[in-house]
Amino acid sequence: MARIGVFCFPGTGHINPMTALARTLERRGHSVVIYGIADTEARIRAAGIEFMQIGAEHYPLGTLRQLDEHLGTLKGLATFKFTVERVRNTARMILRDGPDAVRRSGAEVLLVDEADMGGTVAEYLGLPFVSIAMFPPLIRDARIPAFCFPWQAGESWWIRLRNILGFRLLSRVASPIHKLVNAQRRAWGLEVRRHAVEFLSPIAQIAQLPAALEFDVQGLPDVVHYTGPFVDQQQRPPVEFPWEKLDGRPLVYASLGTMQNGSESIFRTIAEASAGLPVQLVISLGGGLAPERLGELPGEPIVVSYAPQLELVKKAAVVITHAGLNTVLESLAEGVPLVCIPLGNDQPGVAARVAARRAGLVVERSKLNAKRLGAALAEVLGNAMYRESAARLRDDIRGVDGLNRAADVIEGALRLKGKGQATEIRERVMQGQIPALGISFYRPE
């Protein structure tokens, strides 16, 4: 059995699935510690996972809420640019504090959220690592658009050209992160990376996106493993909800997640769009706004700060979502179709995959109004195709058991059953049995 260290981006949509994966690994006898900032400690410890703080100097308690509140005011490219700066600052903290934390924790192997840059710490310390994607995996294949674009995949020359140009734009926007990390790599004697995928693990890259929801493209890299949702219902804290107010009408559940949920206008548009239909609307504000701030809304929806999402989704006819991957997967795992309003970051790419699998419709934020959203909602409610497609995805998702499949990949890739040490995998890389993408296992004195 192994001592596993974890770098996880400090957002609810990352912490919830990562702690679920950590719990699965611990049930198999491994010991897991998650390195994080002060704001993540309570949630990680509540899941029963060991926590070790990093970033104490620059990320005091309360920092995360300030960052999330600012993110909630942004849209489109501004959202992505802010996220890039946020990832860059997180990377600086991890490169500064990470090596010492890993040493003190006694970790033998690392799991690294693809939104973090902890892979460079692993290389510096000579430890094998596995990359974990909480969004559509980063694949450098011209047939598939980068995860942040709302495009469909394809084989034609113009789609390939568009995707290549999209990757170049993504690389340009993300260049501040790569410059920072490469500067530290030079200081540590590690090879400089040119492309974003080269910062990922050469051993295994695990995506909680199920293969059934990925674009239908053959010949993707063997190092990428599609699993399924990382959901552990037992670790979700109980949330009070006025169940007695549900009146039996088809339920529409609406949530914009916990990070980009500060837009009053979008919530009002959702209420107005739903009011003209024979449905009951439940809006979860995700902590971004107080329910009183919205006042009276058309159709008198049930509005709560937080909702027991897993339980409500089971009762829903349709889910209106920002297309955050966790909400999408939790909905599809119950066979519930979606209306997606992507707000930024990976959400356009997630929404594009939902549309490609005909499990829902997409309404762009720039074109959002009550009439257009109401028409999309009516179409998804009234056309059996969307529920049938969502049901097929539900069956596929339930058939894979994402958490245990991910744990199997981790144990197999890192040989954690058997020797239970990092030595074997390091030797296999150095002997050329596993492609190392130029990794040199440098361990400082």
Specify the pLDDT at position 3: 95
In the chain, the amino acid numbered 428 is R
**Strand ranges inside 287-382, DSSP E:** 302-304, 316-321, 338-340, 360-362
Report d(CA 134, CA 8) in Å as an integer: 10
Q: What is the pLDDT of residue 73?
A: 62
Q: For residue 412, what pLDDT band results from cuts at 50, 70 and 90?
A: very high
Are residues 110 and 25 in contact, defined by beta-carbon separation less than 8 angstroms? no
Buried b (16+ CB within 10 A) or exposed e, 276-310: ebebbbbbbbbbbbeeeebeebbbebbbbeebbbe
- Please check the confidence at residue 24 and state whether its pLDDT lies above 80: yes
Chain segment 381-390, per-residue pLDDT in tens: 999 999 999 9
Question: What are the structural domain ranges in the chain?
Answer: 3-228+400-430, 239-398
Per-residue pLDDT averaged across 94-100, rounded? 95
The pLDDT tens digits for 317-326 are 999 999 999 9
pLDDT of residue 436: 37
pLDDT tens figures, 102-131: 999 999 999 999 988 899 999 999 999 999
pLDDT score of 77: 63
Higher pLDDT: 75 or 325? It is 325
Note the pLDDT of residue 162.
96
CB 32 within 8 Å of CB 26: yes
pLDDT at 420: 43
245-263 per-position pLDDT tens digit: 999 999 999 999 865 545 7
Residue 374 · residue 279 · CB < 8 Å = no
When pLDDT is averaged across residues 398-423 and rounded to a whole number, the result is: 79
pLDDT at 187: 96
Written as one letter, the residue type at 323 is: A
CA 129 to CA 313: how far, in whole Å? 35
Average pLDDT, the chain: 87
- The answer to whether the CB of 31 falls within 8 A of the CB of 2 is yes
pLDDT computed for residue 429 by the predictor: 42
- Report yes or no: 214 and 353 within 8 Å, Cβ to Cβ: yes
> Per-residue pLDDT averaged across 213-232, rounded?
90
Q: Do domains 3-228+400-430 and 239-398 have the same CATH topology?
A: yes
With bands split at pLDDT 50, 70 and 90, how would you rate the model's confidence at 430?
very low
Angstrom CA distances, 159 to 221, 263, 293, 344, 362, stand at 20, 33, 44, 21, 20
Q: Please give the CATH topology (third level) of the domain spanning 3-228+400-430.
A: Rossmann fold (3.40.50)
Angle between helices 118-125 and 76-105 (to 10 degrees): 30
What is residue 69's predicted lDDT score, i.e. its pLDDT?
Answer: 67
pLDDT of residue 58: 85
At 201-219, the pLDDT tens digits run 999 999 999 999 999 998 8
| Measured distance CA(289)–CA(301) in Å, rounded | 15
What pLDDT was estimated at residue 416?
74
pLDDT band with cut points at 50, 70 and 90 for residue 133: very high
Which pLDDT band, with edges at 50, 70 and 90, does 84 fall under? confident
Q: Which CATH class is domain 239-398?
A: alpha beta
